[in-house]
Structure 1
Amino acid sequence: QIEPISDACLCDVTQTGPSHDSLIDSSVSAQTGVSEDPVTAAASPAGKTEADDAEGETCSICFEPWTTAGDHRLAALRCGHLFGYICISRWLTSGGNKCPQCNKPAKRGHIIFLYARKLKALDNAEEVRLKSRLELERGSRRMEQLEGAQCRQQMQLVADENVRLRKEVEELRRWRAQAAFGSSQGASLSSSQRQDSSSGGHYVFSKAVLVSQTGGSRVLSYCEPLGCLLASQPSPQATLVPGFGVKKISTATLKPSQYVPIHSKQIRGLAFSRHQDSLLLSAALDNTIKLTSLMTNTVVQAYNTGRPVWSCCWCHDNNNYIYAGLASGSVLVYDTRDTSTHIQELAPLRSSCPVVSLSYIPRAASSMFPCGGLIAGTLEGGCFWEHMEGTTYTPHILPLESGNCTDMQVEPDSRHCLVTYRPGRANPSLRCVLMELSRTPQTDSRQPPVCSCSPVQTFTAGSSCKLLTKNAVFKSPAGGGATLVCAGDEATNSTMVWDAGTGALLQKMPADLPVLDICPFEVSQSSFVASLTEKMLKVYKWQ
């Protein structure tokens, strides 16, 4: 049904619309192809631009400007196209059920008024394109800045290594000159020991790895099944994941790969079992020890010790048992099959000093020391807890110096332990004493055998020892039954390597900060040793 058109509307159309003669002239011109008068075209240099501007101001049905009021006021359909209200209303009423411009379905009820005095759309396509290019340039610049920072860091590492090599060259030249002229007997002896070391092999710097930019690294361990080093450190994203964990460092590429969160406070001990693949035992000052699966990077078991834990280790005679050395001097024994609490507490025999080191020496067919048990080192001395059967332990106090012991490490094959003493009044230098474990033969059934130790070799370092550095004693990669001793020297910020048999200083490997932990390991029949500081890990290869 067509709505009647009022006389007022007809008058408006007659007054405002184009005349019949002009429409005929336009139609004829379009059909005959007669172009516009050249004079008129020349008088309008804007040409197409003016037509484009007018297109946004006129109704596409009657080609007349729309108004802000009245019947020809500005209106729009749902598709977004603009018309004069009276024109689009007549169009839809007279049977046109589509938009005149896009042919989308429309009806008279879809018409809405636009309340705008002046409608004008700015062409910002160029602005959007320039902003997109600007973001791309900014991203490229950030990548270049990151690459520049990495290059600067690598240059600094190369420069440090260059300085170290220069110092080594100067030292070698000095030793060579001393050996050639025979300046002193001590110098000749040192030179000959150096030559013997060079003939058997020595450690060569391989790579430095940044563990923590802010510092806070403390202990180091090696996971042989996964082929990675584990270094403790504070969380690199403390605001998101607070606490402490370990960073994996691949021994194949010597690159850090992943951070695993574990504890809420500083980690003081890391240990692996010889039988439990990729199961990490960790001890921390948050009164807990935890078992973490490095295959899934998740904590699978946690024990609350009630007191800060300074050290931990596995039982190598029965992998179900684990040990935790407490700040009170006690050692708690746990059975991993019991997830509730500890099964036994080994109380301190002397003063209640923190158990700074725990090492388990397994049973072996040795005439000197066949028994197995736990060696616990405190600041006041050491004790060997002989593991009899099940949960029975017999204590043996080791004859060590009282008050200066900072670390005890074990070499299980040779049945030796390395005891570190801090400088004191009687001895102003750091000392590492290699002890041989022994057990007196049982001659009387009423007198149980006594386990003890005796010094074999003493190694001296600098005069400073403020940190509880964990040193190492292990078999020499050169073979022949030789043993090496590695210790951190705070006075020179270096790792010192001695021959345990002769007591000769073989090498002095520099570090950026005091060395906190030392870990030997083997990869693809090659021997390495890693030294950890608060921020860096340095790896040396035996050649």
Structure 2
Amino acid sequence: MAEPYITDEQDYEAMLSLEIGLELSESEYSEDEDFIPVVELDSSPSFLLNSDQATTAADAAAAENLNFHEEEVEVEEERNKRRRVEKIGSGGDIYCRIEGDDAGGESSQSSQRNRNEFDGLFCPICLEAWTNEGNHHICCLPCGHVFGLSCIEKWLRQRGRLAKCPQCNRKGTLKDVRKLFVPRIAVVDEESQKRIRFLEEKCASLGKKDVDLCKKESEWKRREAALQLEVQKCKERTIYLEHLLGDLQSRPSGLATADRGSQGQHEFGNSIYTDFYGQGSSSCFKLQGELHVDGARLFDVDASGKILLLARRVPMMGGSHVLTKMSLIPPHESEDIFLSPGTKIIKDLHISPANGRLALFASLGKKLSVLSMESNNVILSYDLPAAAWSCSWDLNCSHYVYAGLQNGSLLVFDMRMTGSPVESRLGHTNNPIHTVQSLQHISTLPSGVKTVVSASSIGMCQWNFGGEEERPFLIPETTNQGVCISLAYCASSDDIVVSYRPRVEMSNEVVSQPLLTPSPANGQGVLGSHLHLKRVGSSYERLGVACSTVSDIRLPKSSIIYRQNQKPLFATGDEVSCGLILRELPSFTVTQRLRSHQHFIHDVKYTSTNSQGLLGCLSEDTVCTFKEATSPCVSIFCVQLKSDINLEL
């Protein structure tokens, strides 16, 4: 009788034992050079066995498998004892080094640090990086050690009931494996972190001390430079005044100036002597009060509304430009009007002489704007082809305004037409027009013709708009006087005063206009002149001229005070005393000197209503009010403003 074949269950167990042995010999230990196989399986097993032979073969395979596992655990423990894995952080290279038991104590601190840095990146079984998904998903055992999923499952499956953690030999099964869902595992060295925090705090403290010391050093250097500059200015001013005094004392008194149509003649020497030593009538103005402002550049006065309008630059707001309305009636309330960032520096400012409800201002942001004094809003703004340096209201028609540009052009606008100028004319040169004044209409001109005078460095020009198009013409009496720096006009009397400083011409050699005194330091004034003209019909009469110290870097403002049944007064700042001087026209005799200030006067404005008149002078950070002691009553408003001197021309 033939022997029966083995059953399916017996066949499966035999095949399973064979596969386990092959996997252990081929995959697990093929990469280990020090491993010596302890079990060899027959490469040609027989699948056709009788029942007794099959049972005997199965029992033998099970016994051999048990012995294999026991020997495998011993070999693995010996291998773990001898094997050390080191990962070098530079470039991510990884290598293995076999060393004895005593070698672990000789590893350097840097190698230990590099190994700790990479322990959280690679599976300790296959020494390859684990992943956050897939077969090699990062997972752990209850003991806390981390492996790749496929590696630890294979490890535990191969060892069956004797399975342990590869690192701590704590028992574990496939059910104990837990997946970890983390992007990356990194072990933080608490001692190193404390050391890092300590060093960071120390660096921050040292950095703060360094910044404080740098700030203090910068402030000390700034103060030292300011003090040295003040000392130098005082020395130069002393030398300048000594030379000026010597020149005045040695100059002959017979140097006269022709006065067309004037009531007499005056001498340069006497005029200059009066300029510096104040011979004239007794004081007629008394101090009434003081106010303080900050950062103003220009201003104008509305006499009827008792309002002061200031153009200011606020340093605390990033240098923003604002208009400030200030009441001249106690408690002197003020209100700021913020302008758009594109406005930039305001170069000229005028309140409408017709009603006082509108204000016109020109700015370097290529804008000519009209402000409502009632709503505090800009109600009209014109875009200009160049930066605006000056502006003016038309004295004969309140709808027309004028703008003098940086390129020497003069534009006429009708506020009823908000698009573009009604007329635009080019000047004689490309020099900026720093002053524009509308003149009263006279009967000798055709109806509708508007006359405007302007001032630039070459002198005074007259423009006629509304008739035949013609180029502006220079007033002959104002040429060859020097560099024109200021123009003042009185609409009530048609008086004009033009101020000049010496002209410097450059050639192969430096040639300058001869000065009567040595040139002082910049910003302390030079010896210039004031020219008095009077408009008679369509021409101008030269009434007088006087020497005076004028600014050598700034474009100062001046004004003419009209007094009924009396000679007009010319109000201007004095560069030597930093005060406001009142001169009687046409002789330019000094009638009064107001008290001196610490800074130069930059702007002077005068306006009147009924029998009241207001005069303002711009210096730095104080508003002083003066009242005339005799009739007619005229109040003086001296506005001192805290702003840097603009270097112009």
TM-score grouping bracket, smaller chain normalisation: 0.5 to 0.7
- Using the alignment, how far apart are the partners of 1:186 and 1:268 within structure 2? 36
- Using the alignment, how far apart are the partners of 1:492 and 1:190 within structure 2? 14
Match of 1:258 among 335, 339, 361: 335
- Using the alignment, how far apart are the partners of 1:371 and 1:473 within structure 2? 25
Quickly say closer, same or farther: Cα 1:531–1:394, change in 2 above 3 A.
same
Shift of 1:515: 0.5
Match of 2:436 among 332, 351, 358: 358
Match of 1:453 among 514, 534, 540: 540
Match of 1:469 among 532, 546, 556: 556
Deviations 1:471-496 (A, max 9, x none): 011213xx423100011122321111
| Structure 1 residue 438 corresponds to structure 2 residue 520 | no
Read off the aligned partner of 1:431 and give its amino acid letter: S
TM-score by length of 1: 0.56
| Structure 1 residue 209 corresponds to structure 2 residue 291 | yes
Read off the aligned partner of 2:302 and give its amino acid letter: C
- Using the alignment, how far apart are the partners of 1:393 and 1:413 within structure 2? 27
Deviates most, 494-503 or 256-265:
256-265
Quickly say closer, same or farther: Cα 1:366–1:504, change in 2 above 3 A.
farther
Query: Any idea what SS the aligned residue of 1:506 has?
Result: strand
| Structure 1 residue 234 corresponds to structure 2 residue 319 | no
Deviations 1:404-457 (A, max 9, x none): 101112112222211011245245513221111234xxxxxxxxxxx4423212
Match of 2:581 among 476, 496, 520: 496
Gaps of 5+ in 1: 1-184, 440-450
The match for 1:413 is 492
- Using the alignment, how far apart are the partners of 1:483 and 1:366 within structure 2? 25
The match for 1:422 is 501
Shift of 1:271: 1.5
The match for 2:473 is 396
Higher Cα radius of gyration = 2
- Using the alignment, how far apart are the partners of 1:506 and 1:205 within structure 2? 16
Match of 1:383 among 461, 465, 472: 461
Shift of 1:527: 3.5
CA contact (8 A) 1:459 1:498 kept: no
Match of 1:302 among 370, 373, 381: 381
Shift of 1:465: 2.9
Read off the aligned partner of 1:407 and give its amino acid letter: S
- Using the alignment, how far apart are the partners of 1:303 and 1:338 within structure 2? 10
Match of 2:616 among 522, 530, 533: 530
The match for 1:507 is 592
Query: Any idea what SS the aligned residue of 2:339 has?
Result: strand
| Structure 1 residue 284 corresponds to structure 2 residue 363 | yes
- Using the alignment, how far apart are the partners of 2:315 and 2:307 within structure 1? 19
Deviations 1:261-303 (A, max 9, x none): 2353111111222334411100011110111111111111111
Quickly say closer, same or farther: Cα 1:207–1:460, change in 2 above 3 A.
farther
Query: Any idea what SS the aligned residue of 2:549 has?
Result: coil
- Aligned residue pairs: how many? 333
Gaps of 5+ in 2: 1-268, 504-512, 517-526, 630-649
Shift of 1:388: 4.6
Quickly say closer, same or farther: Cα 1:196–1:515, change in 2 above 3 A.
closer
Query: Any idea what SS the aligned residue of 2:281 has?
Result: helix
CA contact (8 A) 2:347 2:389 kept: yes
Shift of 1:464: 4.0
Shift of 1:380: 1.2
CA contact (8 A) 1:235 1:261 kept: no
CA contact (8 A) 1:520 1:528 kept: yes
Shift of 1:525: 4.2
- Using the alignment, how far apart are the partners of 1:538 and 1:393 within structure 2? 45
Read off the aligned partner of 1:298 and give its amino acid letter: N
- Using the alignment, how far apart are the partners of 1:532 and 1:254 within structure 2? 21
Read off the aligned partner of 2:312 and give its amino acid letter: Q
Quickly say closer, same or farther: Cα 1:308–1:190, change in 2 above 3 A.
closer
CA contact (8 A) 2:274 2:280 kept: no
Quickly say closer, same or farther: Cα 1:254–1:432, change in 2 above 3 A.
farther
CA contact (8 A) 2:280 2:592 kept: no
Match of 2:398 among 284, 307, 319: 319
Shift of 1:232: 1.3
- Using the alignment, how far apart are the partners of 1:384 and 1:254 within structure 2? 44
- Using the alignment, how far apart are the partners of 1:204 and 1:186 within structure 2? 27
Match of 2:603 among 512, 517, 532: 517
Note the 1:20-419 alignment, pairs <5 A: 197-198=281-282, 202-212=284-294, 215=295, 217-235=296-314, 237-239=316-318, 243-253=320-330, 255=332, 257-262=334-339, 264-348=343-427, 350-364=428-442, 373-389=451-467, 395-399=472-476, 400-402=478-480, 403-419=482-498
Deviates most, 225-234 or 297-306:
225-234
Quickly say closer, same or farther: Cα 1:528–1:274, change in 2 above 3 A.
closer
- Using the alignment, how far apart are the partners of 1:541 and 1:250 within structure 2? 17
The match for 1:102 is none
Shift of 1:321: 1.1
Q: CA RMSD in A?
A: 3.1
CA contact (8 A) 2:571 2:580 kept: yes
CA contact (8 A) 1:518 1:531 kept: yes
The match for 1:171 is none
Quickly say closer, same or farther: Cα 1:224–1:529, change in 2 above 3 A.
closer
TM-score by length of 2: 0.47
The match for 1:481 is 566
CA contact (8 A) 2:362 2:368 kept: yes
Read off the aligned partner of 2:347 and give its amino acid letter: R
CA contact (8 A) 1:211 1:247 kept: no
Quickly say closer, same or farther: Cα 1:464–1:319, change in 2 above 3 A.
closer
- Using the alignment, how far apart are the partners of 2:434 and 2:465 within structure 1? 20
CA contact (8 A) 2:323 2:337 kept: yes
Quickly say closer, same or farther: Cα 1:190–1:394, change in 2 above 3 A.
closer
Shift of 1:522: 4.3
Quickly say closer, same or farther: Cα 1:248–1:460, change in 2 above 3 A.
farther
Identity %: 20
Shift of 1:225: 4.3
The match for 1:97 is none
- Using the alignment, how far apart are the partners of 1:196 and 1:371 within structure 2? 42
Shift of 1:329: 0.4
Quickly say closer, same or farther: Cα 1:254–1:404, change in 2 above 3 A.
farther
| Structure 1 residue 539 corresponds to structure 2 residue 625 | yes
